[in-house]
Amino acid sequence: MRKYSIATLEGDGIGPEVAQATIRVLREACGDMLDFQMLEGGAGHYQKSGECLPEDSFTACRDADAILHGAAGIPGVVYPDGTEVGNDLHLRLRFRLDLYANVRPIKLLPGVTSPLRGFEGGGIDYVIIRENTEGLYASRGAGVLLRGEMASDTLVVTRKGTERVAEFAFNLARQRNGALRDGKRRVTVCDKANILRTYAFFRQVCDEVHARHPDVEIDYAYADAITVHMVKRPDFYDVIVAENMFGDIISDLGAATAGGMGISPSGEIGDHHALFQGAHGSAPDIAGQDAASPMATVLSGVMMLRWLAQRHGDARLGEAADRIEKASETVLGRGIAVPRDLGGDARCSEVATALCRALA
């Protein structure tokens, strides 16, 4: 029976707690199918060694079947230029492993209260695909600050980068069941094509990719307008694809409508590698208190299992993912162990224990 190597970076703050809770759940669901390799990295490691991501940790991540990350970042731990060390951990992995598709599922689970009262009871279920290596963030570390008087960054949109993330979005839409409102498989292109040539080009390339997927509907929304639509009619959306910065912004808005960052999973996926982590930060104010919610990391683990199952044709992993998702719905829906950020009082370890019992 094949075993899969999982490069595991616990990171900083609540990272070790949510990572260990997730490992417990994954082991309960998968038995000995997963081999977790514990690696060094993050702001804390930088304080000790001067390295955010040691080369041996990077090599292990590159050679593993998948990467699981807890969280990274410590307030005040910055590079000489003032940028945060914690963010650099997964950014280095993102760019060196070419993880070009940031996948952010926005799904309202049973038992979770949404601020959108009209959509409680399962009325939100779509995915945002954020281009992960270009856009405005391509200027990171390369912008211009001139004499303390002028600063500039460059928005980068390439044909290759847009084409491959659009292809990813259309392929994902073909695997889903369509939007909750009308059942149509649909990709919404989020841009500002009415203002900037870069976004007009982004839309043009998405149109060209759409021509290869006539069974999927295409839709367009300007970045400002979509923030209204995601609140007023979230059930209209199936898959949304966006440039890096716009995708970053709207994915956090989407998470808020489905219960918050503490229940929001994410995957950073390329052609050969993938990293999975909760969309939240390291929350150093509650670190070491067993107070964090592990749900975002657990659900990221579900994404990891499904990615591995598809990549390797291993149905066992897909079945384990389905079981964990069902257990999550049971634990939250029945109020068995509701974490604090969702209005309950369950500790991180208690949520993990409840999930393992539901699985057993």
Q: What is the pLDDT of residues 218-258, one digit of tens each?
A: 999 999 999 999 999 999 999 999 999 999 999 999 999 99
Q: Catalytic: 235?
A: no
Q: Catalytic: 192?
A: yes
Domains defined along the chain, listed by start: 1-99+273-360 (3.40.718.10), 114-258 (3.40.718.10)
Distances (CA, A) of 217 to 212, 230, 258, 280: 11, 18, 25, 32
Query: Considering 192, 219, 222, 322, which one is annotated as catalytic?
Result: 192
pLDDT at 69 over 90: yes
DSSP 259-306: T-GGG-EEEEE-SS-EEEEESS---GGGTTTT-S--HHHHHHHHHHHH
Query: Considering 63, 224, 271, 345, which one is annotated as catalytic?
Result: 224
Query: Per DSSP, which regions of the chain are E strands?
Result: 4-11, 34-39, 66-71, 101-107, 125-131, 144-146, 150-152, 186-191, 217-222, 239-242, 265-269, 274-278
Query: Considering 46, 100, 137, 199, which one is annotated as catalytic?
Result: 137
What's the whole-number mean pLDDT along residues 347-360?
97
pLDDT at 78 over 90: no
How many Å apart are CA 106 and CA 127, to the nearest integer? 6
Q: Catalytic: 252?
A: yes
Q: Catalytic: 345?
A: no
**Each residue's pLDDT tens digit, 102-130:** 999 999 999 999 999 888 777 999 999 99
pTM for this structure? 0.95
Query: Considering 252, 290, 314, 322, which one is annotated as catalytic?
Result: 252
Confidence of residue 323 (pLDDT cuts 50, 70, 90): very high
Q: Catalytic: 224?
A: yes
